[in-house]
């Protein structure tokens, strides 16, 4: 296929049913953490493709964090691939959900739902966030405890004292050590800030929000009364977003 290169699955990790990380052996052009590439498969005699954020740091083997969409055609097929299986990869990374577009701030808050965690993993693994910001708060919202993935790696990154993880769980009210509910509601009532032991402030904080469009809109509406607004190049603000259909 024009523009695509052949790649192979180098490693596969199943976190939970329908939730998989794939490491791919494929040549990519240099990328910035937060960018995405198109993955594809030939299904029914045609190329089916979709954009996926890179979860890996630059120079590491490309890694993708995937969930099977109930109505999706490509994601179930990708999740069924095993080590050695082939797929098509667009080697040119794209996207503007990167730190180069984030204005100066003392603290960076990363808010993700589900596999929207992927671009933040890339940023954390690359490490620039720890040099640029005084502190980083990672908020990861999922449905079930088994979907709180990459926990040991994130804890190791947090051991340096500059990262705080706030897991948010919308189901299983008996789970301990998490904020229960959904991210926007937990921002409104202050539970996320309480769990992070830090306060959001337009003067000190910038938020990067990656998730489904409804979550992004609800998060912006939750923070608007406190003086936060969407960041744009011509009108600087406090919230940078990336829509992510999980």
pLDDT in tens, 186-236: 999 999 999 999 999 999 999 999 998 999 999 999 999 999 999 998 889
pLDDT in tens, 114-173: 999 999 999 999 999 999 999 999 999 999 999 999 999 999 999 999 999 999 999 988
Residues 199-209 pLDDT 10s? 999 999 999 99
What is the pTM (predicted TM-score) of this model? 0.96
CATH number of the domain at 5-89, out of 3.30.950.10, 3.40.190.10, 2.40.30.10, 1.10.150.120?
2.40.30.10
- CATH 3.40.50.80 at 99-243, yes or no: yes
* Residue 57 DSSP symbol: P
Sign of CA dihedral 200, 244, 114, 63: negative
- 245, pLDDT greater than 80: no
Per-residue pLDDT tens digits for 2-21 = 689 999 999 999 999 999 99
Give one DSSP letter per residue of 196-209, joined into a string. HT----TTTEEEEE
Per-residue pLDDT tens over the stretch 25-78? 999 999 999 999 999 999 998 999 999 999 999 999 999 999 988 778 899 999
* CA–CA distance, 32 with 58 (Å, rounded to integer): 7
- Listed by start position, the domains of the chain span 5-89, 99-243
């Amino acid at each position: 296929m024009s523009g695509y290169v052949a790649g192979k699955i180098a490693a596969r990790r199943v976190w939970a049913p329908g939730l998989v990380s794939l490491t791919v052996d494929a040549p990519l052009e240099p990328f910035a953490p937060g960018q995405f590439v198109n993955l594809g498969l030939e299904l029914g005699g045609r190329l089916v493709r979709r954009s996926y954020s890179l979860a890996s740091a630059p120079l590491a083997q490309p890694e993708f964090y995937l969930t099977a969409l109930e109505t999706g055609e490509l994601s179930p097929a990708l999740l069924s691939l095993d080590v050695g299986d082939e797929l098509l990869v667009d080697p040119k990374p794209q996207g503007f959900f990167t730190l180069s577009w984030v204005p100066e701030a003392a603290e960076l808050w990363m808010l993700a739902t589900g596999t929207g965690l992927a671009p933040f993993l890339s940023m954390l693994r690359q490490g620039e966030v720890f040099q640029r910001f005084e502190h980083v708060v990672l908020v990861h919202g999922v449905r079930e405890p088994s979907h709180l993935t990459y926990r040991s790696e994130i804890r190791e990154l947090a051991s340096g004292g500059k990262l705080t993880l706030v897991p948010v769980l919308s189901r299983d009210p008996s789970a301990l050590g998490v904020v229960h509910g959904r991210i926007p509601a937990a921002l409104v009532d202050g539970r996320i800030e309480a769990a992070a032991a830090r306060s959001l402030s337009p003067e000190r904080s910038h938020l990067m929000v990656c998730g489904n469009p409804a979550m992004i809109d609800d998060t912006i509406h939750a923070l608007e009364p406190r003086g936060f607004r969407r960041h744009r190049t011509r009108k600087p603000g406090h919230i940078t977003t990336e829509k992510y259909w999980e």
